[in-house]
């Protein structure tokens, strides 16, 4: 007999954004939704109560550096280039595998608490990231970030080679919940010769790419000066763009670049809080969508956000989307919520982000019994404009309950926080020596 779970007595958000009274029956072994219909409790081995709650697809954080939770609040109120060069990269130079293990676990707890079930991670010590994802029960597309600027040729080559080796080693780990990508940091932080050498090898291996694109204007100028073209064209010429590629930011993207991204099917992961905090700019999200570019949502690392709560990001995306378009009808609530669910799942290549039979059983159950969610005119509006991550009461990923009544099951939460605090203090002390 298969092991089944039913989320019962609540309401369910359908892929068409209707809210229906139904239970969700899940095959916990296959990690798949079996049925969405009333009165399924009697068919399940285990139930999860969703009274006064809305069952939604688990949110997808499509761009993150999870272990950067250790650097949350370490360096704020600076422009990206100075922030990276003066604060973040010196601290990361001291980062150990144990630090990444501690920081990623803290990120996992934070994501589970706020209803995120899948994320993309670009960082170091990927083996530790994979182990944390496995233990947490989350789903992730992970990779080793490549930077070649400031390195000699051999070190640069080693970094790119490591990204490919890591992607091949860990793909399919954690019962298939872990997938991988090769993650060059950005077009201007990796030398052209290394792209030319490695892109064909990565394509040959069938591994996706993920990188930062058009985050700030300084980045654009560096590529324009060297290559004489816009970064999207430069990336396309190198063979980096395809429908398995997803890029972060896309803040400074012009109409021709949008056309290229749409043609290639490359998804842009919008990170509105990070873009605002680092004063990178406002991504033209509605224009990207209108041009046919797939758009997902991400937090970026906790050092530029400073939390991993995608409910914050939903609201920021809807609001900044209106300011960027100078149009209050731009990036409406359904559009924003779609980016954080189906959009994110598509960008990461997961068959998730929607509640329907056959889809991955990745769910968040939002407690509606709260003053800031009263009255009920439109629950999608509430999800985007009024709800917070702390309104999530249960989180389910791959058919397994990761949080039940706000209790994270995989980890001893206070131990995770204590360990993160210790590692963060020691890391910063080493960096400032």
Ligand X SMILES: N[C@@H](CCSC[C@H]1O[C@@H](n2cnc3c(=O)[nH]cnc32)[C@H](O)[C@@H]1O)C(=O)O
Q: Which residues bind Zn ion (CB under 5 A)?
A: 300
C-beta of 81 vs 226, nearer to ligand X: 81
The DSSP symbol for 415 reads H
Phi/psi class of residue 330: alpha, beta or left (left: φ > 0; alpha: ψ in -120 to 50)? beta
In the complex, minimum distance from the CB of residue 87 to ligand X, in angstroms, rounded to a whole number: 10
Q: Which of residues 225-284 bind ligand X (CB under 6 A)?
A: 274
User: Kind of pairing, strands 246-249 and 116-123?
Assistant: unpaired
CA 312 to each of CA 254, 331, 340, 349: distance values in angstroms, whole numbers, following the listed order: 27, 15, 11, 24
- 312 known ligand binder: no
Task: Please choose which of Zn ion, ligand X, none residue 224 contacts, taking the beta carbon within 5 to 8 angstroms, the exact cut-off set by kind.
Answer: none
Candidates 46-54, 144-152, 198-206, 291-299; binding stretch for ligand X (CB under 6 A): 144-152
- 65 known ligand binder: yes
In the complex, minimum distance from the CB of residue 286 to ligand X, in angstroms, rounded to a whole number: 22
Q: Which two tokens stand for residue 272?
A: 């509105």
Report if residue 9 touches ligand X, rule: CB under 6 A: no
Task: Please choose which of ligand X, Zn ion, none residue 117 contacts, taking the beta carbon within 5 to 8 angstroms, the exact cut-off set by kind.
Answer: none
Report if residue 113 touches ligand X, rule: CB under 6 A: no
Report if residue 23 touches ligand X, rule: CB under 6 A: no
In the complex, minimum distance from the CB of residue 267 to ligand X, in angstroms, rounded to a whole number: 17
Rounded CA-CA distance 186/201 in Å is 18
Report if residue 362 touches ligand X, rule: CB under 6 A: no
- Total residues interacting with ligand X, rule: CB under 6 A: 19
Rounded CA-CA distance 79/84 in Å is 9
In the complex, minimum distance from the CB of residue 298 to Zn ion, in angstroms, rounded to a whole number: 8
Q: Which two tokens stand for residue 12?
A: 């369910």
Beta bridge partners of 381: none
Report if residue 63 touches ligand X, rule: CB under 6 A: no
In the complex, minimum distance from the CB of residue 308 to ligand X, in angstroms, rounded to a whole number: 13
What backbone torsions phi and psi does residue 215 show, to the nearest 5 degrees? -80, -50
- 215 known ligand binder: yes
The DSSP symbol for 373 reads G
C-beta of 159 vs 362, nearer to ligand X: 159
Query: How close are the terminal C-alpha atoms of the chain, in Å?
Result: 59
User: How much of the chain is in helix, strand and coil states, percent to nearest 5?
Assistant: 45, 20, 35
Q: Which of 70, 88, 132, 345 binds ligand X (CB under 6 A)?
A: 88
Residue (of 280, 270, 194) closest to 238 by Cα position: 194
In the complex, minimum distance from the CB of residue 356 to ligand X, in angstroms, rounded to a whole number: 34
- 185 known ligand binder: yes
Q: Which of 180, 260, 304, 341 binds ligand X (CB under 6 A)?
A: 304
CA 32 to each of CA 133, 351, 356: distance values in angstroms, whole numbers, following the listed order: 19, 10, 9
> Do 91 and 74 form a contact (C-beta atoms < 8 A)?
yes
The DSSP symbol for 83 reads I
Residues that bind ligand X (CB under 6 A): 65, 80, 84, 88, 92, 122-124, 145-147, 159, 185, 212, 215, 274, 300-301, 304
Sequence ranges of the binding site for substrate: 92, 185, 215, 300
Sequence ranges of the binding site for Zn(2+): 63, 65, 212, 300
């Amino acid at each position: 007999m298969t092991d089944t779970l039913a989320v019962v007595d609540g309401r369910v958000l359908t892929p068409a954004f209707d809210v229906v009274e139904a239970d969700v029956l899940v095959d916990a072994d296959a990690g798949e939704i079996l049925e969405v219909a009333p009165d399924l409790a009697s068919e399940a081995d285990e139930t999860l109560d969703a009274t006064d709650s809305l069952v939604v697809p688990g949110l997808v954080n499509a761009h993150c550096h999870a272990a950067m939770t250790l650097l949350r609040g370490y360096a704020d109120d600076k422009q990206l280039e100075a922030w990276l060069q003066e604060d973040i990269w010196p601290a990361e130079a001291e980062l150990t595998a144990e630090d990444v293990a501690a920081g990623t676990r803290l990120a996992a707890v934070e994501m589970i608490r706020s209803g995120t079930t899948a994320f993309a991670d670009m960082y170091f010590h990927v083996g530790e990231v994979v182990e944390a994802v496995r233990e947490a029960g989350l789903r992730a597309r992970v990779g080793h970030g490549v930077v070649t600027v400031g390195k000699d040729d051999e070190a640069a080559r080693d970094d790119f080679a490591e990204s490919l080796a890591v992607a091949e080693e860990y793909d399919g780990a954690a019962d298939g919940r872990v997938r991988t990508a090769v993650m060059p940091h950005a077009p201007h932080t990796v030398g052209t010769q290394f792209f030319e050498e490695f892109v064909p090898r990565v394509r040959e291996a069938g591994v996706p790419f993920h990188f930062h694109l058009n985050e700030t204007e300084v980045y654009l100028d560096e590529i324009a000066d060297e290559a004489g073209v816009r970064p999207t064209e430069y990336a396309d010429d190198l063979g980096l763009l395809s429908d398995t590629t997803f890029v972060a930011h896309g803040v400074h993207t012009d109409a021709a670049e949008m056309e290229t991204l749409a043609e290639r099917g490359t998804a842009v992961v919008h990170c509105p809080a990070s873009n605002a905090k680092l004063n990178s700019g406002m991504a033209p999200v509605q224009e990207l969508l209108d041009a046919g570019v797939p758009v997902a949502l991400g937090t970026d690392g906790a050092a530029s956000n400073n939390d991993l709560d995608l409910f914050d990001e939903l609201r920021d995306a809807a609001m900044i989307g209106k300011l960027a378009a100078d149009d209050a009808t731009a990036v409406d609530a359904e559009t924003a919520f779609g980016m954080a669910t189906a959009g994110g799942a598509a960008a990461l290549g997961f068959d998730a982000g929607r509640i329907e039979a056959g889809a991955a059983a990745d769910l968040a159950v939002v407690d509606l019994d709260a003053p800031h969610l009263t009255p009920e005119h439109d629950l999608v509006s509430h999800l985007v404009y009024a709800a917070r991550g702390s309104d999530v009461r249960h989180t389910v990923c791959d058919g397994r309950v990761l949080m039940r009544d706000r209790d994270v099951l995989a980890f001893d939460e206070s131990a995770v926080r204590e360990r993160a605090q210790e590692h963060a203090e020691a890391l910063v002390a080493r960096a400032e020596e």
